Structure 1
């Protein structure tokens, strides 16, 4: 599996383009905005987008999802259904954050813990990791030991829990009981900021030690 991280919007959200090097089938994970930038990046990589993946329902992670799904004629997968209220509320989020207007939408397929998402010959496992939002999910590529964790965990920080239906206890449980148990050598791509490993965060993250 190959990947490229493209920060988008004023929030510098880490949108990830990932693809199977053998088949050149790919996906865009958390396209928070800047539709044209992402389309140009896909064209430059010369990959075939087969689906759009979402970790959770906050606008800075989903703002360009519907436009990209329409452009590539593909389905949107995720998040887990508990985030429906956030996707229903996208027009209000647009106003609150000062983003371009974003219509409410539902994904074509809600994802659940244990689901497998196929990208060409590559597989991503789905974990339900609530806390930042109730329906937040994480994608794990076990063979390459890479995780796309959205806003659950950051380099030296953790996701906020002061948003509607955020829950600090759930967040810490998700990190310690769902992510860290996968092993210290898992490298993760957070929703914002630099990458890290679960081992580095387990030892050094001031919110978790």
Structure 2
């Protein structure tokens, strides 16, 4: 079974998720945006074997610690979709703009596309390309755990911003309704910021997507 623990990092309180297979103890960090020592401590505390870094997209609060962790621990960087290459190229500029520690540059070991899968021990997660917040945004869905790690596509009561370069509101709404909703109302999602919710709750009450 897939287990996870969410760790808010950076001044933006970005939800970095430590996910692992409870049979093999193999783990990945979803969106290691910063506070690298805290993230390493969370892995060590649970005696997990960190094997990969997974990125939903390349905004600084989601990707800022990725290069450092990959270099220090020799880890592969999985994701996002190639549409976010320009955000990766601009990480140093993003660091200065938002007052973050300078992000180390990196190149993803493996880009992701819609329909791909990622593996942790006995657990497989499906990858869906969900552009709109950024062009290369992806989400990670565990059908067995009924969980989806959605980055900044959807929040409890809100949706991702679309006023950044490469953002598009209509595209984001399509990603939510065509890619997320079919995962099922009972699916709990872990957003990039704030509390968890379910797709069913958001379909009923989220003012941006209710009734879609």
CA offsets, 1:69-102, max 9 Å, x none?
A: 2222110000000000000000110111110111
| Distance in 2 between residues matched to 1:34 and 1:85, nearest whole Å | 23
Change (3 A) 1:104 1:69: closer
Residue 37 of structure 2: SS of its match in structure 1? helix
Listed as ranges, the matches of 1:39-58 within 5 Å are 39-58=40-59
Listed as ranges, the matches of 1:17-166 within 5 Å are 17-166=18-167
Q: Could you say which residue in structure 1 is the equivalent of 2:16?
A: 15
Per the normalisation by structure 2, the TM-score is 0.97
| Distance in 1 between residues matched to 2:104 and 2:39, nearest whole Å | 19
Between 1:176-185 and 1:153-162, the stretch displaced more is 176-185
Residue 188 of structure 1: SS of its match in structure 2? strand
| Distance in 1 between residues matched to 2:112 and 2:73, nearest whole Å | 20
| Distance in 2 between residues matched to 1:167 and 1:131, nearest whole Å | 5
Residue 105 of structure 1: SS of its match in structure 2? coil
CA offsets, 1:92-146, max 9 Å, x none?
A: 1011111011133221110011111010110011000000000000000011110
| Distance in 1 between residues matched to 2:94 and 2:72, nearest whole Å | 23
Residue 127 of structure 1: SS of its match in structure 2? strand
| Distance in 1 between residues matched to 2:25 and 2:74, nearest whole Å | 17
| Distance in 2 between residues matched to 1:50 and 1:107, nearest whole Å | 14
1:25 deviates by: 0.4
Query: Does the 8 Å contact 2:133/2:172 carry over to 1?
Result: yes
Residue 12 of structure 2: SS of its match in structure 1? coil
CA RMSD of aligned residues (A): 0.7
| Distance in 1 between residues matched to 2:178 and 2:112, nearest whole Å | 19
Residue 6 of structure 2: SS of its match in structure 1? strand
Residue 57 of structure 2: SS of its match in structure 1? coil
Unaligned 5+ residue runs, structure 2? none
Query: Does the 8 Å contact 1:2/1:21 carry over to 2?
Result: yes
Query: Does the 8 Å contact 2:32/2:65 carry over to 1?
Result: yes
Residue 202 of structure 1: SS of its match in structure 2? helix
Between 1:188-197 and 1:104-113, the stretch displaced more is 104-113
Residue 177 of structure 2: SS of its match in structure 1? helix
Query: Does the 8 Å contact 1:127/1:138 carry over to 2?
Result: yes
